[in-house]
Structure 1
Amino acid sequence: MRKHFVRLERCNYIRNGSDPSHGFTGYLDTSQARYDWALNRLRSADTLEAARALVDAEASVRVAVLNMASPLHPGGGFLNGASSQEESLCMRTTLLPSLKDEYYRLPELGAIYTPDVMVFRDANGGDEVLEKRNRWFVDCITAAMLRNPEVERDDEKGWGRYVNAKDRELAVSKMRMVMRICQDKGVKKIVLGAWGCGAYGNPVGEVAAAWRKVLLPRTDSKGRRAVEMWNGIEECVFAIKDLGMADAFAAAFGDGLEREAVDEANKDDEDDDEDDEDDETAELGAKVVELRARIRNANPAIGRALQPVLAGLIVQLPEGHPERSSV
């Protein structure tokens, strides 16, 4: 049974994908006779809505969510009124006090694991606090994806792709880190997302393909089954509220992802989803404007170094956006 308080001393700051106090390696015993693959599902919902459905379905299992976080600031732009996924989590839960200043900047392969985070607001409640009997608990893994990687358009597939193979490898390593933490902490069900897409400029096709590589069974070049199998994790839910991004994610992930049908309530909320998409586009456009100004005022060498980053942001903007054609 979940406790009705939050013990911050139980929060773990994890480097290199594992909690050193547990001596965890992240790899399974290859002598195990069978492997149970997790069910991978895509749901049109926000992170906490998806998590609540998992908790309600089976209250006895440990459920966690991935807080797709800022690597620099606890809670991202929460205190400045921003409204991305991390800010929503901090507004509706007790997560923020566990994100201590001394943990930042987050390492490339590091995370903060916070158990028993209380959810005290629902998605549409504004400032209204849930009654005590309706509050619930979930674990949070706070980790950051790449910011503004160099991106180019893949004309054959119709979406952006990383220019540098090292960025693709780092994204995969970050995802493996999250799954290792889940195994170490006994998490059975995890809510993930289109990590780093939107304002951070990671192409949705690359992110989906990376999750597929991490989660699905695979063999090496000699036909041997991969060792890292994520036994014990029963279900991974990708909560992607924006329908357009969800479509792109599902197309890039391909087979092995079960997509939930959009119910009538979600269809009625499609205008709200479009508003969310407009907000993300506006934020990305503002970053492009800011970076253009920085390049204009920088010395030529720095300006040249920033041009690929600018191009990577621009390719994420929708066709017809004024910043796509600006010079």
Structure 2
Amino acid sequence: MACHRRKSAAECRAYAKWRVDMLAERHAGALRRSIGLTRIVEGSALPEVEARWATTTIEIASTDTASAAIEASRRGERVCLLDFASYLSPGGGFLSGAQAQEEALCAHSSLYPALDARWDDFYEPNRSDHNDDLYYDRGLYVPDVLLFSGDEDVAAKVDVAVVAAPFKGRAMMTWGVSEQICDRVMGERARFAMDLMATASDEPVQTAITGALGCGAFRNDPKVASEAFLSWLEEHPGAFERVVFAIPGGSNLAAFEEAFAGVTSVPTRTSPSD
């Protein structure tokens, strides 16, 4: 029954409804916990990133973010996964059958109810001020999200950082924002996403799972995104033990492979904090 890109929008809509109903029926306790722990995080409120590991290993993987997170969790790693989010709607087009990264993540996890619970204090204010579709450094941190292998088998429990990239295509076409400004904001948003994953949890995150944030329907340049991620990692060695850029093929994968060519790890310059 699992929804994937070979399925029609109607089939994915039906699957989304099934997933939401199934979660409410079989995982109510886990949902309450995750929803209760979810919090809004503003960029200005994040603490300083600490070096917690001697070396950060960097991997570029031709896979999706959920699969990479499940693999890392099975290795015993504490994982935070980045949701390439809609700034305006919980789960983006999940309920309507869309199939981008956030929608696929909602289809195969317990994330959607935690997002839907934040209409009043997150999505409604975002809709009131979307900053010409550039959005802001404003996200959610959702702990203890269940990831499913297939339809019903719980394969992992991970934290999810919810961050929206600027919608470059709409910002330029609708609001006349320059490409230069869009690219600058994209770089800043990638850095915010990494800051959020590195600092928002009470317990250190060992493995961060991210990818080509904003480089699909939002039309951001993967070269800009990949270079911003690389710059952040070079400036914050040891923030994670491992970072995986999970990108399922295509030109985005090629751009990240080029940006990270020869870069497989970033050692700390001083001893990591205890």
TM-score, structure 1 length as denominator? 0.60
Report the 3-state secondary structure (helix = DSSP H, G, I; strand = E; otherwise coil) of the residue aligned with 2:105. Answer: helix
The aligned residue for residue 129 of structure 1 is 152
The alignment's C-alpha RMSD in Å is 2.7
Report the 3-state secondary structure (helix = DSSP H, G, I; strand = E; otherwise coil) of the residue aligned with 1:79. Answer: coil
Is 2:39–2:142's contact at 8 Å kept on the other side of the alignment? yes
The aligned residue for residue 242 of structure 2 is 235
Task: Report how far residue 235 of structure 1 moved.
Answer: 0.9
Structure 1 segments unaligned to the other structure (5+ residues): 19-23, 152-161, 218-228, 259-327
Residue 63 of structure 2 aligns to which amino acid in structure 1? A
Q: Does 1:45 align with 2:94?
A: no
Distance across 1 between alignment mates of 2:239 and 2:109: 27
Distance across 2 between alignment mates of 1:189 and 1:174: 20
Q: In structure 2, do the counterparts of structure 1 residues 92 and 143 end up closer, same or farther at CA, with 3 Å as the change threshold?
A: same
Which deviations, in whole Å up to 9, do the C-alpha atoms of 1:111-134 show, x marking residues without a partner? 1100000123x3xx3xx322xxx4
Q: Does 1:26 align with 2:53?
A: no
Structure 2 segments unaligned to the other structure (5+ residues): 1-28, 266-274
TM-score, structure 2 length as denominator? 0.71
Q: How does 1:304-319 map to 2 (within 5 A)?
A: none
The aligned residue for residue 269 of structure 2 is none
The aligned residue for residue 75 of structure 1 is 91
The aligned residue for residue 212 of structure 1 is 230
Is 1:17–1:178's contact at 8 Å kept on the other side of the alignment? no
Residue 181 of structure 2 aligns to which amino acid in structure 1? K
Task: Report how far residue 148 of structure 1 moved.
Answer: 2.1
Residue 97 of structure 1 aligns to which amino acid in structure 2? P
Which deviations, in whole Å up to 9, do the C-alpha atoms of 1:201-234 show, x marking residues without a partner? 10111111111111124xxxxxxxxxxx253411
Q: Does 1:141 align with 2:141?
A: no
Which deviations, in whole Å up to 9, do the C-alpha atoms of 1:86-145 show, x marking residues without a partner? 00111111101111212112751011100000123x3xx3xx322xxx432111001100
The aligned residue for residue 110 of structure 1 is 138
Q: In structure 2, do the counterparts of structure 1 residues 63 and 141 end up closer, same or farther at CA, with 3 Å as the change threshold?
A: same
The aligned residue for residue 17 of structure 2 is none
Residue 191 of structure 1 aligns to which amino acid in structure 2? I
Identical amino acids, percent of aligned pairs: 28
Residue 74 of structure 1 aligns to which amino acid in structure 2? P
Q: In structure 2, do the counterparts of structure 1 residues 188 and 194 end up closer, same or farther at CA, with 3 Å as the change threshold?
A: same
Is 1:168–1:210's contact at 8 Å kept on the other side of the alignment? no
Distance across 1 between alignment mates of 2:237 and 2:141: 18
Is 1:250–1:257's contact at 8 Å kept on the other side of the alignment? no
Runs of 4+ in 1 over 4 A off after TM superposition: none
Distance across 2 between alignment mates of 1:192 and 1:238: 5
Residue 14 of structure 1 aligns to which amino acid in structure 2? V
